[in-house]
Amino acid sequence: MKYISEDIKAVFERDPAAKSIWEVLLCYPGLHAILNHRLAHFLYKHKIFLLSRIISQISRFFTGIEIHPGAVIGRRFFIDHGMGIVIGETTEIGDDVTMYQGATLGGTGKDKGKRHPTVGNNVTIGAGAKVLGPITIGDNTKIGAGAVVLKNLSSNITAVGIPAQETKRISVSNTILGKAQCSQGDTSEVEKIVTDIQGKVMQRLN
């Protein structure tokens, strides 16, 4: 029951459109899917496989969200919009994760046993993103819309593109203004930094 109340609270915290408890309980398919999964997963852990799959299948029919009952999902999980989301059997999801419509935590078809992703805490998975295979996504990572992730991602980064590439956060000390620290009459340091950046951009393009 604690997980369920936290799932409901997560809707209000992450969706500005949520107006009332009745609206959330009656009109949020993402919440319906996760509540059904909590029950299905409980049955799955107790080896009541058929009933757990039936509950999962009924939930999929009404919500458009497919979560295998074997998937392990942490606290305060939030699905926004939700249509087309797929979460595979051996997926492991940490706390405070958000997923958007069309996202997939799936397999590649090449692996046996553990074949789906492990997602850390406070991760955001954008609309249409595909995270495939027994890979690990670090804490506080954001996966951009439409990205295809095929390898491990470290913590505290943003990943975008096909295949997804990590985009490091740049601290103030690493910006041009932070590094230059030069007077108005001395632009040599700025020119050096700009030239260095241009060189790195050309390397990426080539």
- In this structure, the answer to whether residues 102 and 144 fall within a common structural domain is yes
Helix pair 29-45, 2-14: axis angle to 10 deg: 150
Each residue's pLDDT, cut to its tens digit, for the chain (206 residues) gives 678 999 999 999 999 999 999 999 999 999 999 999 999 999 999 999 999 999 999 999 999 999 999 999 999 999 999 899 999 999 999 999 999 999 999 999 888 899 999 999 999 999 999 999 999 999 999 999 999 999 999 999 999 999 999 986 634 344 444 544 444 455 555 566 556 655 655 555 55
Give the residues across from 114 on adjacent strands.
none
pLDDT confidence of residue 21: 94
- In this structure, the answer to whether residues 102 and 179 fall within a common structural domain is no
Please give the tally of structural domains in the chain: 2
- In this structure, the answer to whether residues 65 and 114 fall within a common structural domain is yes
pLDDT confidence of residue 142: 97
Per DSSP, the three-state class of 18 is coil
Q: 1, exposed or middle or buried, with CB in 10 Å at 0-12, 13-18, 19+? A: exposed
- In this structure, the answer to whether residues 179 and 118 fall within a common structural domain is no
pLDDT confidence of residue 109: 86
- In this structure, the answer to whether residues 122 and 161 fall within a common structural domain is yes
pLDDT confidence of residue 3: 85
Domain carrying residue 135: 2-167
Per-residue b/e over 126-157, b at no fewer than 16 CB within 10 Å? bbbbbbbbbbebbeebbbbebbbbeeebeeeb
The CATH number of the domain where 85 resides is what? 2.160.10.10
- In this structure, the answer to whether residues 125 and 96 fall within a common structural domain is yes
Beta strand 66-67 with 158-160 is: unpaired
- In this structure, the answer to whether residues 44 and 63 fall within a common structural domain is yes
- In this structure, the answer to whether residues 121 and 39 fall within a common structural domain is yes
- In this structure, the answer to whether residues 178 and 158 fall within a common structural domain is no
CA 71 – CA 79 distance, rounded (Å) = 15
